[in-house]
Structure 1
Amino acid sequence: MINPSIDTLEQETSHSSRIEMPEVKMPMTEEFLLGPFRKIIKVTGLDCSLIALSQHNPHLRIKAIITRVVAIAVIVVIFFRCGMLFKAEGPTLSLTWAESNMFAFMGIQSIVCTFCLFGWTKNEFVPLHLTRLNKVRSLRIKENTVVDDYSNIHRKAFIWSGFWFAAILSHAIASAAAQKVIISGKIVIAPLYITMPFITLLACFIVTLCLIYYFLVNASLSREIEYFNTELEEAKQEKRLHDSSILLEFCHRQAELVRLVEKANESLSSYATTAPMFCFTSCINAVFIASGFSSSLPSVIFAILLFNLFAVIAITFFTLRPASNVQFYLSDTARILMDSEEFECSQDSDVFKGYQVMINRSLKHNMKIRVLRGIPIYPASMNFAMFIFPNLGSLLALVRKILVNQGIQI
């Protein structure tokens, strides 16, 4: 008979219900990961994706050349702003000296951000990262739309951006109103103090978008590794890891995750290798101003500088925290496996070897971003740095107070 009997259909249905069919996973795209920031980057003049596209499409070469010229012009403008901030420097340990250092070193950080956006877009960093990310996503046991939803991060990024813009531009506008480059500096010519707020606005866009790109790529790494750990924990609780084929699938997926982090860090390190030092230098000077000049500044000016102190601390935190989270979740895999005592008694050599490989890979990997190629970014070093560096500003204020009490003119 062509039509099967009802009993046969019921048997096939019950049998198929026990088989877990792989779900079709929607590929992660730039629109999902970057959201509206994918288009906002064009405002900076540093979106050089046309340069990459022109390599495959000769018709885009003229546009690519124009794009490169505009990007170089933006880089020159940001260098000019940083030079003007350094030029406003005053006597050592004075307010002008500290304020100049605070904003000038953040100016260097904006130069780093400028080159990062230029390089990331020119070399198609995000599209290549998403290709590798989608490969890892295809190895998931179950699909999870929450992990792939970055809209909440986009909303928080807009809120943070507003805070950052308000802090930096309030200082730029207050300085321009006093016909200066910085509030405590000397009066400068009109074209300079008039144009500086507009250049600062451009710098705000550049720093904000660079940090958001950096944060979102790190967030994609953290989420994927965290979800891997969640599925590994579930498999451990359900005693499925003692099946050598399942454990080896997790081992292969972990290797792909480590490779994903390695490739991402090759590009992300262009920002995180140097930017933290400039952020910390700015933070030290900002704390020095808040600790040493609170009584000698008008309330409005002190409020603006204090607002910028919080902004500098925030940008320092968001520079270190994303990379630190990635390292935390990578090492957390070892905790999950070591919490299980059953692997030690396993008679299956493949299971025990896979168990050892995963723990060693989790604990001994070399995927940390290193500041100045030496200091690794991970939770312990981040917490230590966020404690010690701001306190150096308070120590500097104490030194100044002692020198003033000794009659030394500053």
Structure 2
Amino acid sequence: MVEAGTNLGLGSMYVKPGLEPMQLPPPPAPKLLGPFEPVLKFSGFDCHKLRKESIRSVRGIATAVIAVLILAILVLEAFTLMGIQGKPFTIGWAESTLYAFMAMQALISAISVMCWSRENFISQFEDTLARLRTMRLSTSQSIDDYTSFHRKAAFMIVPIFVVTLSTSFYSSVTNRYQLNDTSTFYSDSFVHQVAPFIDFIGCIASSLAIVMYVTVNTALNREIKHFNKELTNSARFQQLTLPQVLNSYSKRHSDLIQLTQFVNRNLSKYGAIVPFFTLTSFVNVAYIVGSFKESLDPVMNVLFYLWMFLAMALTIAGLAPLVKVQDNIQETAEILMHDDVLQTCGDDQMHHTYRVTLDRCLHSNSKLLFMNAFPVDSQSFNRIMFFVPNISTAMILYRLSHPFL
């Protein structure tokens, strides 16, 4: 057992008799959005001026007008696509459903970004994260460096624009929705003529939403993972048997769980709904590719394959970060459960602190609910990834057994 007054082996913490652990000066809090922050500011989706104290200002009124116009445009496209009539299991029905659910995804993304900016969610998260950084026992240059992450994020949102706008421009130029044949659905709505403009707005909304969503979850995951790394080191050197060390970890863990719950409450606007829309889009586009490949023109054939990739990528981006959070929380519990020295400690107060921390890992309500019904963890994610593609397979088999549909 490590005695007070000894170096704890982390290279950054020294316990003096009767004193709390010394902590390093807090690292500077990074701006999580990085280059995406000015994009948000000038995109028309930044609604921080709609807060109570500034909504009556000129900029507040202008922001409200822009927000209403954007939402009205996206709602118009979504409901136009949802209102298209088509015989079930035909290519027109599947294609219109694909676009309708992706339009709904863009609409929910726009609402989410507007709500997050109005409620100052990112800034609140950054402030809480900065406070948690002061509780670290060691530093890491990589944990607070988001440069590489921002590059990857910029690269990953490119397909949203490429796939969506390519389809929109091609359909507008060829006027394929008004051919009234069996190659797609029929619609004479003027919305399809201005679809490239509307879809560009939707692409911005989708990109900002997924970047903000993944960035927050990435930052949260990094902090919990760093906590687990330090907890592992402390357990290895039997430091958790020191009351002040264990209490410090317990308080820090409580703050991390509360931060996770705060994040889930805010991100549920997006994470509980959008993956359902993208999954439904994936089911429909996979059905199109599997059932009507021979009747598609080459351009649309390629675009549908890209839509399939995009829909699945957005689904994974919406669920996988939540899974990582839960895996890291579960790892904390495993570290504590595997510390035999701490478990056999005869101090009642320390044993109580140990049990409270362990129970917090195992029983805290820290999971975001998919469709507000299904807690997202690794098991539910694997089930979704297994069952959903098979829905497309079932639809394809049904179509093959009914060739005259």
Taking structure 2 as the reference length, the TM-score comes to 0.90
Comparing 343-352 and 379-388, the one that deviates more: 343-352
Deviations 1:35-56 (A, max 9, x none): 111111234311111223x71x
Determine if the alignment matches structure 1 residue 69 to structure 2 residue 70: no
Q: Report matched runs for 1:190-339 at 5 Å.
A: 192-339=191-338
- Verify the 8 A CA contact 1:102 1:286 in the aligned structure 2: yes
Instruction: Report how far residue 375 of structure 1 moved.
Output: 0.3
Instruction: Report how far residue 310 of structure 1 moved.
Output: 0.3
2:161 alignment partner, one of 152, 159, 165: 165
5+ long unaligned stretches in structure 1: 1-16
Q: Matches of 2:75 and 2:138 in 1, distance apart?
A: 49
Deviations 1:332-352 (A, max 9, x none): 101111122222321122222
Residue in 2 that maps onto 1:24: 25
- Verify the 8 A CA contact 1:141 1:231 in the aligned structure 2: yes
Q: Report matched runs for 1:341-380 at 5 Å.
A: 341-380=340-379
Residue in 1 that maps onto 2:105: 109
Instruction: Report how far residue 305 of structure 1 moved.
Output: 0.6
- Verify the 8 A CA contact 2:23 2:136 in the aligned structure 1: no
- Verify the 8 A CA contact 1:88 1:181 in the aligned structure 2: no
Deviations 1:234-253 (A, max 9, x none): 11111111111101110110
Residue in 2 that maps onto 1:185: 185
- Verify the 8 A CA contact 1:116 1:270 in the aligned structure 2: yes
Deviations 1:149-171 (A, max 9, x none): 11111111111111221111111
Q: Matches of 1:86 and 1:319 in 2, distance apart?
A: 23
Determine if the alignment matches structure 1 residue 398 to structure 2 residue 394: no
Q: Output the amino acid matched with 1:300.
A: V
Q: Matches of 1:391 and 1:346 in 2, distance apart?
A: 51
**Higher fraction of helix:** 1
SS for the counterpart of 1:96 is helix
SS for the counterpart of 1:144 is coil
Q: Matches of 1:81 and 1:18 in 2, distance apart?
A: 61
Q: Output the amino acid matched with 2:58.
A: I
Q: Matches of 1:400 and 1:277 in 2, distance apart?
A: 23
- Verify the 8 A CA contact 2:275 2:319 in the aligned structure 1: yes
Q: Percent identity of the aligned residues?
A: 27
- Verify the 8 A CA contact 1:181 1:196 in the aligned structure 2: no
Q: Output the amino acid matched with 2:384.
A: A
Q: Output the amino acid matched with 1:23.
A: L
- Verify the 8 A CA contact 1:180 1:187 in the aligned structure 2: no
Q: Matches of 2:60 and 2:177 in 1, distance apart?
A: 35
- Verify the 8 A CA contact 2:23 2:134 in the aligned structure 1: no
Residue in 2 that maps onto 1:136: 132
SS for the counterpart of 1:28 is coil
Taking structure 1 as the reference length, the TM-score comes to 0.89
Comparing 213-222 and 348-357, the one that deviates more: 348-357
- Verify the 8 A CA contact 1:327 1:368 in the aligned structure 2: yes
Residue in 2 that maps onto 1:13: none
Q: Output the amino acid matched with 1:184.
A: T
5+ long unaligned stretches in structure 2: 1-12, 16-20
Instruction: Report how far residue 229 of structure 1 moved.
Output: 0.3
Q: Matches of 1:18 and 1:281 in 2, distance apart?
A: 54
Q: Matches of 1:306 and 1:350 in 2, distance apart?
A: 60
Q: Matches of 1:232 and 1:336 in 2, distance apart?
A: 7
SS for the counterpart of 1:213 is helix
Q: Matches of 1:302 and 1:368 in 2, distance apart?
A: 39
Aligned Cα RMSD in Å? 2.1
Q: Output the amino acid matched with 1:296.
A: S
Instruction: Kindly tell me the number of residue pairs found equivalent between the two proteins.
Output: 385
Residue in 2 that maps onto 1:127: 123
Deviations 1:208-267 (A, max 9, x none): 100110111111111110100000001111111111110111011000000111111111
Deviations 1:367-400 (A, max 9, x none): 1111222101111101110121022011101101
SS for the counterpart of 1:141 is coil
Instruction: Report how far residue 104 of structure 1 moved.
Output: 0.5
Q: Output the amino acid matched with 2:206.
A: V
Instruction: Report how far residue 181 of structure 1 moved.
Output: 5.4
